[in-house]
């Protein structure tokens, strides 16, 4: 499993050799972007967009232009997530749309981005709430002529807030058994300890949550929520805790 450390500060991109996961919402404010030292994956920032506005305020064309800029200026971009539509109940309450409509819009956006810039490293995302939803989303891609089993990576959305549950473990292991190479968005330690072996990659920003509750030993800092050393130490501990089900940590 390839593990991407979620980060708040894009400046870390020039400092870290291991994989990083950073939001378009963070990068888009930078006039001069850092050059990547290690692999980087781009999150579209959909959770924030939908929870704030109940819709996407960034058009596919604008987002595609931004991702192209990241590829050219940051470099070493592994992949970029589409502008997917999360399916958590409070998100669908905000949008006023059904889970199925969110799935249709997620697939539609991936197709739009491919049409706009087929040269960019887009990765499809599956959305849903229950296993049947994800299987329906799989069928939507299939109807559109997209074979997810042939994709290098498929994002699994709407799992981060229930990622350590038996339900999500069943969803992950069932979909992985079909041959999908899954990326788990926002998977925390307890979730990874359950089903890391069924994921091709995952990301997590959980270190920052823990850091907000950890007093900082550094003068002028209240806590460790923005400390790179704390984040790297957290990452190392997490990966070592998974060695019981991972034969090697190469590429993490």
The helix/strand/coil state of 173 is helix
Q: What is the pLDDT of residues 133-164, one digit of tens each?
A: 999 999 999 999 999 999 999 999 988 766 55
Inside any domain, residue 134: yes
Q: What is the pLDDT of residues 198-245, one digit of tens each?
A: 999 999 988 877 766 666 676 656 666 778 888 999 899 999 988 544
Range from 21-30, 185-194, 198-207 carrying the lowest mean pLDDT: 185-194
> If pLDDT is split at 50, 70 and 90, which confidence band does 96 have?
very high
Q: How many domains does the chain have?
A: 1
Give the chain's mean pLDDT.
Answer: 90
Element (H, E) at 159: none
Inside any domain, residue 251: no
- Closest by CA to 21, choosing from 163, 149, 184, is 184
Residue 201, number of CB atoms within 10 A of its CB: 23
Inside any domain, residue 44: yes
Domain containing residue 29: 2-241
Inside any domain, residue 248: no
What pTM was computed for the model?
A: 0.91
pLDDT on residue 249 = 39
Written as six digits, the tokens of 133 are 């939803």
**What percent of the chain shows pLDDT beyond 90?**
74
> If pLDDT is split at 50, 70 and 90, which confidence band does 246 have?
very low
User: Is 60 exceeded by the pLDDT of residue 59?
Assistant: yes
Written as six digits, the tokens of 79 are 């992949």
> If pLDDT is split at 50, 70 and 90, which confidence band does 247 have?
very low
> If pLDDT is split at 50, 70 and 90, which confidence band does 250 have?
very low
Domain containing residue 210: CATH number? 3.20.20.105
Residues in contact with 77: Cβ distance below 8 Å, sequence separation at least 6, in sequence order:
36, 40, 41, 42, 67, 70, 71, 121
The helix/strand/coil state of 79 is strand
Inside any domain, residue 23: yes
User: Is 90 exceeded by the pLDDT of residue 52?
Assistant: yes
Inside any domain, residue 50: yes
Residue 45, number of CB atoms within 10 A of its CB: 21
201 φ, ψ (degrees, to nearest 5): -155, 170
CA distance 198 to 173: 6
Inside any domain, residue 174: yes
Inside any domain, residue 249: no
pLDDT on residue 242 = 85
> If pLDDT is split at 50, 70 and 90, which confidence band does 167 have?
confident
């Amino acid at each position: 499993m390839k593990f991407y450390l979620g980060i708040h500060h894009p400046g870390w991109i020039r400092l870290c050799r291991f994989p990083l996961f950073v939001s378009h919402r963070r990068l888009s404010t930078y006039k001069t972007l850092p050059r990547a030292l290690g692999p980087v994956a781009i999150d579209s920032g959909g959770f924030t967009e939908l929870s704030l506005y109940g819709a996407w305020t960034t058009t596919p064309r604008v987002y595609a232009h931004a991702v192209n800029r990241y590829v050219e200026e940051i470099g070493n971009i592994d992949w970029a997530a589409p502008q997917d539509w999360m399916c958590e109940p409070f998100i669908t309450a905000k949008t006023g749309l059904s889970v199925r409509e969110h799935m249709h819009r997620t697939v539609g956006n991936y197709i739009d981005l491919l049409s706009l810039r087929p040269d960019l490293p887009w990765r499809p995302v599956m959305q849903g709430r229950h296993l049947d939803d994800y299987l329906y989303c799989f069928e939507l891609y299939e109807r559109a002529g997209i074979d997810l089993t042939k994709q290098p990576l498929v994002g699994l959305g709407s799992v981060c807030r229930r990622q350590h549950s038996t339900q999500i473990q069943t969803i992950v292991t069932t979909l992985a058994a079909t041959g999908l190479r899954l990326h788990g968005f926002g998977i925390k330690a307890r979730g990874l300890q359950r089903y890391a072996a069924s994921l091709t990659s995952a990301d997590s920003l959980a270190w920052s949550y823990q850091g907000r509750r950890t007093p900082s030993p550094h003068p002028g800092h209240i806590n460790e929520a923005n400390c790179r050393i704390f984040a790297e130490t957290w990452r190392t501990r997490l990966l070592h805790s998974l060695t019981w089900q991972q034969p090697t940590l190469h590429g993490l």
